[in-house]
Amino acid sequence: MSSATIPPQFEIVDRPLDTQMTISMGPQHPSTHGVLRLELVLDGEMVVKATPDIGYLHTGMEKLFEYKKYQQGIVITDRMDYLNPLGNNLAYVMAGEKLLGLEIPERAQTIRVLMCELQRIGSHLVWLGTHALDIGAMTVFFYCFREREKILNLIEAASGGRLTPSYFRIGGLMMDLPAGFENRCRQFLEAFPRALDEFHKLLSGNKIFQRRTQGIGYISAEDAIDWGLAGPCLRGSGVALDIRRANPYCGYEKYDFEIPTEADCDVWARYMVRMREMKESHKIAVQAVSRLKPGPTKADAPKVVLPDREAMKTHMDALIHHFLIVAEGFDVPAGEVYFPIEASKGELGVYMKSDGGPKPSRVHFRGPSFVNLSALPVMSEGEMVADIVAIIGSLDIVLGEIDR
Partner 1 sequence: MTSGPENIEQTPSPLVAALQREHLEWFGEVIVALGETTFIVPREHIVAACTFLKAFPEARFDFLADICGADRGVEEEPRFEVNYHLFSTTKYHRIRLKVLLNEEDTHVGSVTGVWRTANWHERETFDLFGVIFDGHPDLRRILLPDDWQGHALRKDFPLRGYEPYSLK
Q: Where along the sequence are the contacts to partner 1 (CB under 8 A)?
A: 54-55, 58, 60, 62-64, 67, 94, 98-99, 101-104, 225-228, 239, 241, 246-251, 253, 335-340, 347, 349, 351, 353, 361-362, 364, 366, 370-371, 374-375, 403-404
**Least Cβ distance, residue 374 to partner 1 (angstroms):** 4
Distance CA 387, CA 395 (A): 13
Distance CA 310, CA 354 (A): 32
**Least Cβ distance, residue 53 to partner 1 (angstroms):** 9
**Least Cβ distance, residue 312 to partner 1 (angstroms):** 27
Between 315 and 362, name the residue whose CB sits nearer to partner 1. 362
What 3-state DSSP class applies to 230? coil
Question: How big is the chain, counted in residues?
Answer: 404
Q: Count other Cβ atoms within 10 Å, centred on residue 64.
A: 14
**Least Cβ distance, residue 320 to partner 1 (angstroms):** 26
User: Which amino acid, one-letter code, is at 15?
Assistant: R
Between 34 and 340, name the residue whose CB sits nearer to partner 1. 340
Distance CA 342, CA 249 (A): 9
Between 84 and 369, name the residue whose CB sits nearer to partner 1. 369
Distance CA 392, CA 399 (A): 12
Distance CA 112, CA 120 (A): 12
Between 141 and 218, name the residue whose CB sits nearer to partner 1. 218
**Least Cβ distance, residue 323 to partner 1 (angstroms):** 26
Between 213 and 354, name the residue whose CB sits nearer to partner 1. 354
Distance CA 99, CA 366 (A): 18
**Least Cβ distance, residue 265 to partner 1 (angstroms):** 16
Distance CA 349, CA 273 (A): 22
**Least Cβ distance, residue 224 to partner 1 (angstroms):** 10
Distance CA 356, CA 229 (A): 34
Between 234 and 391, name the residue whose CB sits nearer to partner 1. 234
Between 13 and 240, name the residue whose CB sits nearer to partner 1. 240
Query: 354, 332 in Cβ contact below 8 A?
Result: yes
**What element of type H or E holds 322?**
helix 316-328
Task: Residue 80: name the closest of 312, 366, 379 by CA.
Answer: 366
Distance CA 44, CA 148 (A): 40
Between 155 and 375, name the residue whose CB sits nearer to partner 1. 375
**Least Cβ distance, residue 292 to partner 1 (angstroms):** 19
* Bond preceding residue 27 cis, omega within 30 of 0: yes
Per DSSP bridges, beta strands 172-173 and 335-343 are unpaired
